[in-house]
């Protein structure tokens, strides 16, 4: 695992380019503390910071082909590199190393930019073809690895993190107001936008091809659901899924350094650890996060420890306390952009714990999206169940429900009421709009009133509705999964997983998003994954006899923390400082009265505005730490 950076069609002299590239690499040294490599060639420069995982001694980058005309810098892992290597050797290619990186170079010699279609892995890489004067930059299919780029007066620049781009004097530090409204609507910014004007994300499954000064951004893969009436039975699918998951986990354990896993005691993480246990004769090291007894609803320690005992792992737990307020500024800087999902705090802490013992950790991220694990996936069923009620009456009942129920994610009852309020707000909407309402941090009207400079009238979350309407799938569940896997998953969950792991120089792998698993699931009927109110139906069936029964019987629980409660108590000083009305009025971004309303409603438990308040806090921290200017 590494961090990469580069310049293209750059106008500065080579010595200046080398110095600038070195600064870009130093900005992401946490991604690769083991090694640095820099290459400069007539307006093009490639750089990397390396975290040595495979071929520790021989994997120095950039890596070139036999005659030095094609070179690559690479962040990630190619899990099928051994079979690709054998095929390339049969075609006459000669390898100088045992690393997966070198496979990319020779695969490019065979297939040009389309080589990316052959890789099963997590990656962001850049290839320089000296003969064709072509640069190819690519991000993996599911977006596990982040990649950013920008155009300036001096040329194009790219990097694994925004910080590497900001190391350049010409980098913009101006707020994109449209992206900011998306952030407060969704809790993240969908690709290709970022909160910085002029800096873009390369979307998951896309590549950038630059040739003779011209740059094109192209999609090379899309998640297409193709169900067949003659597909396998439910039991046959469960058996096939079990086999594919075992292969994916086993292959992703390949490493020349110690490997461990995150274990919460839920179905996804326990499945990963169980398959790891089958693949090795040695105890697996596992790590989890817990809370003290006053936050029992969020504390997963008993479940994780029970799963660890059942699977015979060497397990460690970290108890988290409210002092995490001290971490927020540093972690927001590591993220590059703010996120409303507070699991970035937990991801950092469990990664820090794991890094004390291992250099690679496997995670169950992606299981909810792929196998139907979110309650919001009940939307089609709920929509159908109330369709017989006249629209006006449905709307009136929903409004009454949301006004009457309290909301607090700190208890079972409060959390159920929170879901009930969300359903009340959205029960009269079409499925795509209802899904957006369930996912949103703030309503479109509240987002509009939040900003002192009023944004346009369109819904900043309408991109998700458009994705739902045009998804390459027929079943509503597949459409919802498509939206999640194109937006929330890569630009929030995977982003925080990568950034928080790399902040600790820890590589995190996600077996559920292996090409083989994704390709199987997109051909399986949606009712196999979720039927009625049975979440993860097929996954649980496939894990019978692999995962302990008490784990399979456990009800759904998110990877959360008692941040909502802490915002009313231990984190109140941070809220009072950053969201002080006089401070907000002076800055000129947010309407102080709207912020006061959000905080007061949360304190009274009439609304759960945990994510909204977190979004405001991390946004203010981000703006200060990065010196972001208003347009």
pLDDT digits (tens, 9 = 90+) for 245-291: 999 999 999 877 789 999 999 999 999 999 999 998 888 999 998 87
Q: Following CA atoms 286, 288, 292, 293 in sequence, which dihedral angle do they give, to the nearest 10 degrees? A: -80
Percent of the residues in the chain that have a pLDDT greater than 70, as a whole number: 90
Residue 467's pLDDT band, with cuts at 50, 70 and 90, is very high
Lowest mean pLDDT among 43-47, 137-141, 392-396: 392-396
* 222-227-233 Cα angle (round to 5): 135
Asked if 57 and 202 sit in the same domain, the reply is: yes
Does one domain contain both 356 and 308?
yes
The mean pLDDT of 383-399, rounded to a whole number, is: 73
Average pLDDT, integer, range 364-380: 90
Strand partners, 290: 319
**572 burial level (CB within 10 Å; 0-12, 13-18, 19+):** middle
Identify the band that residue 167 occupies on the pLDDT scale cut at 50, 70 and 90: very high
Contacts of 508 (CB under 8 A, 6+ apart): 262, 351, 360, 361, 362, 363, 365, 497, 498, 501
Q: Which of 121, 147, 184 is nearest to 459 (CA)?
A: 184
Greatest mean pLDDT among 481-495, 524-538, 600-614: 481-495
Report residue 570's pLDDT band, with 50, 70 and 90 as the boundaries: confident
Same domain, 88 and 7: yes
* 586 in any annotated domain: yes
How far apart CA 298 and CA 319 sit, in angstroms, is 12
Has residue 409 got a pLDDT over 70? no
Q: What pLDDT score does 400 carry?
A: 65
Q: How many residues does the chain have?
A: 631
The predicted pLDDT at position 224 comes to 93
Sign of dihedral through CA atoms 247, 250, 254, 259? positive
Res 398: pLDDT: 65
Q: Which of 68, 63, 189, 203 is nearest to 138 (CA)?
A: 203
Is the bond leading into 481 cis (omega within 30 degrees of zero)? no
Q: Could you tell me the CATH number of the domain that includes residue 535?
A: 3.40.50.620
Domain boundary among 160, 195, 219: 219
- Name residue, tokens 């693949």: 279
The pLDDT of residue 178 is 93
Answer whether residue 409 is part of any domain.
Answer: no
Percent of the chain at pLDDT > 90 equals 65
Mean pLDDT calculated for residue range 180-185: 96
**Are the C-beta atoms of 326 and 570 separated by less than 8 Å?**
no
Mean pLDDT of the chain: 89
The band of 607, judged by pLDDT with boundaries at 50, 70 and 90, is confident
DSSP output for 264-285: -SSHHHHHHHHHHHHH-SSPPE
How many structural domains comprise the chain?
3
Instruction: Examine residue 417 and state whether it is found in any structural domain, yes or no.
Output: no
d(C-alpha 301, C-alpha 319), whole Å: 9
Residue 1, pLDDT > 70, answer: no
| Same domain for 209 and 277 | no
Band of pLDDT at residue 302, cut at 50, 70 and 90: confident
Q: How confident is residue 484, by pLDDT bands cut at 50, 70 and 90?
A: very high
Domain coverage including residue 334: 234-372+507-552
Domain presence at residue 470: no
Residues 207 and 313 both lie in one domain: no
Cα–Cα distance between 290 and 452 in angstroms, integer?
A: 40
291 and 151 together in one domain? no
> What pLDDT does residue 298 have?
60
Q: Does pLDDT of 96 surpass 60?
A: yes
Structure-model confidence comparison of residues 564 and 553, the more confident one: 553
Q: Which range among 101-115, 249-263, 383-397, 426-440 shows the weakest confidence by mean pLDDT?
A: 383-397
Span 305-309, mean pLDDT? Answer: 95
Among the candidates 552, 577, 611, a domain finishes at 552
Tokens of 206: 């896309």
Q: Mention every residue, 6+ apart, whose C-beta is less than 8 A from residue 550.
A: 306, 310
Residue with tokens 């070198």: 102
115 is known as an active-site residue: no
Long-range contacts of range 601-606, CB-CB < 8 Å, 24 or more positions apart? 602/564, 602/567, 602/568, 603/568, 605/406, 605/407, 605/408, 605/414, 606/406, 606/407
Q: What is the pLDDT of residue 58?
A: 53
pLDDT at 557: 59
Alpha helices in 267-378 (DSSP H): 267-279, 301-311, 328-335, 343-355, 367-371
Instruction: Tell me the three state secondary structure of residue 89.
Output: helix
In a domain, 270, yes or no: yes
Q: 441: which residues sit within 8 A by CB, 6+ positions away?
A: 184, 185, 186, 187, 340, 611, 612, 615
Task: Tell me: do 43 and 103 sit in the same domain.
Answer: yes
The answer to whether the beta carbons of residues 150 and 199 sit under 8 Å apart is yes
Torsion angles phi and psi, residue 387, rounded to 5? -65, -25
Alpha-carbon torsion, ordered 159, 163, 167, 172, to 10 deg = 90
Residue at 226 is within a domain: no
Query: Do residues 135 and 9 both lie within one domain?
Result: yes
Answer whether 522's CB lies under 8 Å from 529's CB: no
- The pLDDT of residue 283 is 87
Q: Which two tokens stand for residue 494?
A: 């995977």
Taking the C-alpha atoms of residue 272 and residue 551, their distance in angstroms, rounded to an integer, is: 13
CATH of the domain at 154: 3.60.20.10
pLDDT of residue 300: 80
Indicate if the pLDDT at residue 111 is higher than 60.
yes
Q: What pLDDT was estimated at residue 296?
A: 55
Whether 197 and 252 share a structural domain: no
Residues 289 and 340 in one domain: yes
Which pair of structure tokens corresponds to residue 73? Answer: 């810098």
Measured distance CA(326)–CA(142) in Å, rounded: 32
Contact 218, 206 (CB under 8 A): yes
In a domain, 286, yes or no: yes
What's the pLDDT score for residue 197? 96
Kind and range of the H or E run holding 17: helix 14-26
Of 51-55, 87-91, 345-349, which range is least confident?
Answer: 51-55
On whether residue 202 sits in a domain, the answer given is yes
Give the model confidence (pLDDT) of 192-245 as tens digits: 999 999 999 999 999 999 998 889 999 999 999 986 655 789 999 999 999 999
Find the mean pLDDT for residues 530-555: 91
111 lies in the same domain as 215: yes
CA geometry: angle 521, 78, 515, nearest 5 deg:
5
Segment 341-349 mean pLDDT: 91
Alpha-carbon radius of gyration of the chain: 24
- The pLDDT score that the predictor gives to residue 254 is 82
Is residue 3 predicted with pLDDT exceeding 80?
yes
pLDDT band at 509 (very low <50, low <70, confident <90, very high): very high
One domain for residues 101 and 248: no
**In this predicted structure, which of 420-424, 463-467, 528-532, 558-562 has the lowest mean pLDDT?**
558-562
In tens, the pLDDT along 410-445 reads 555 556 656 666 666 666 678 888 888 888 999 999
Non-local (6+) Cβ contacts of 247 within 8 A are 516
Residue 568 has pLDDT above 90, yes or no: no
The tokens of 351 are what? 């990664």
pLDDT at res. 322: 60
What was the pLDDT predicted at 120? 97
């Amino acid at each position: 695992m590494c961090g990469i950076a580069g310049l293209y069609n750059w106008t500065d002299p080579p010595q200046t380019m080398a110095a600038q590239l070195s600064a870009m690499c130093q900005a992401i040294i946490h991604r690769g503390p083991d090694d640095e490599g820099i290459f400069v060639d007539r307006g093009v420069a490639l750089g990397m910071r390396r975290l040595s995982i495979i071929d520790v001694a021989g994997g120095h980058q950039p890596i070139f082909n036999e005659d030095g005309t094609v070179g690559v810098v690479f962040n990630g892992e190619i899990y099928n590199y051994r079979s690709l290597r054998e095929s390339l050797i049969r075609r006459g290619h000669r390898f100088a190393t045992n690393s997966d990186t070198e496979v990319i170079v020779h695969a490019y010699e065979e297939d040009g930019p389309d080589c990316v279609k052959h890789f099963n892995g997590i990656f962001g890489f850049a290839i320089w073809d000296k003969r064709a004067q072509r640069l190819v930059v690519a991000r993996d299919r599911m977006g596990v690895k982040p990649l950013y780029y920008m155009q300036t007066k001096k040329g194009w620049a790219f990097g694994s993190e925004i910080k590497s781009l900001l190391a350049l004097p010409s980098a913009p530090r101006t707020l994109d107001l449209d992206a900011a409204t998306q952030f407060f609507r969704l809790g993240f910014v969908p690709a290709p936008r970022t909160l910085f004007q002029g800096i873009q994300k390369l979307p998951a499954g896309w590549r950038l091809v630059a040739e003779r000064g011209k740059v094109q951004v192209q999609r090379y893969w899309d998640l297409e659901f193709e169900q067949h009436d003659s597909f396998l039975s439910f039991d046959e699918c469960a058996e096939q899924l079990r086999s594919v998951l075992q292969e994916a986990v086993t292959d992703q354990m390949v490493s020349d350094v110690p490997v461990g896993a995150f274990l919460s005691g839920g179905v996804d993480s326990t499945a990963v650890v169980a398959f790891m246990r089958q693949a090795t004769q040695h105890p697996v090291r596992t790590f989890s996060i817990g809370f003290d007894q006053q936050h029992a609803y969020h504390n997963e320690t008993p479940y994780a420890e029970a799963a660890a005992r059942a699977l015979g792992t060497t397990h460690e737990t970290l108890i988290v306390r409210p002092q995490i307020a001290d971490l927020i500024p540093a972690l927001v800087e590591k993220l590059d952009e703010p996120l409303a999902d507070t699991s970035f705090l937990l991801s950092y802490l469990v990664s820090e714990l794991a890094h004390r013992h291992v250099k690679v950790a496997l995670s169950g991220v992606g299981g909810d999206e792929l196998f139907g694990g979110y309650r919001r996936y009940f939307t089609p069923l709920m929509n159908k169940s109330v369709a017989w009620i006249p629209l006006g009456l449905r709307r009136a009942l929903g409004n009454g429900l949301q006004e009457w129920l309290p909301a607090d994610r700190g208890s079972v009852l409060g959390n159920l009421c929170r879901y009930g309020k969300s359903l009340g707000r959205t029960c009269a909407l079409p499925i795509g709009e209802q899904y957006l309402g369930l996912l949103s941090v703030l309503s479109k009207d509240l987002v509009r009133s939040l900003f002192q400079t009023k944004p346009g009238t369109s819904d900043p979350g309408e991109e998700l509705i458009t994705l739902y309407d045009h998804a390459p799938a027929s079943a509503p569940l597949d459409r919802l999964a498509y939206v999640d896997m194109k937006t929330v998953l890569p630009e929030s969950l995977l982003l925080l997983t990568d950034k928080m792991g790399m902040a600790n120089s820890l590589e995190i792998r996600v077996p559920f998003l292996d090409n083989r698993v994704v390709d199987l699931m997109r051909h399986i009927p949606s009712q196999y994954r979720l039927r009625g109110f049975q979440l993860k139906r097929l996954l649980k069936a496939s894990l019978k006899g692999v995962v302990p029964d008490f784990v399979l019987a456990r009800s759904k629980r998110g990877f959360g923390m008692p941040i909502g409660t802490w915002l009313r108590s231990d984190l109140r000083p941070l809220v009072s400082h950053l969201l002080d009305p006089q401070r907000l009025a002076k800055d000129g971004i947010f309407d102080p009265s709207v912020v006061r309303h959000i905080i007061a409603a949360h304190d009274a438990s009439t609304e759960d505005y945990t994510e909204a308040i977190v979004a405001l806090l991390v946004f203010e921290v981000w703006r200060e730490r990065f010196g972001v200017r208003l347009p």
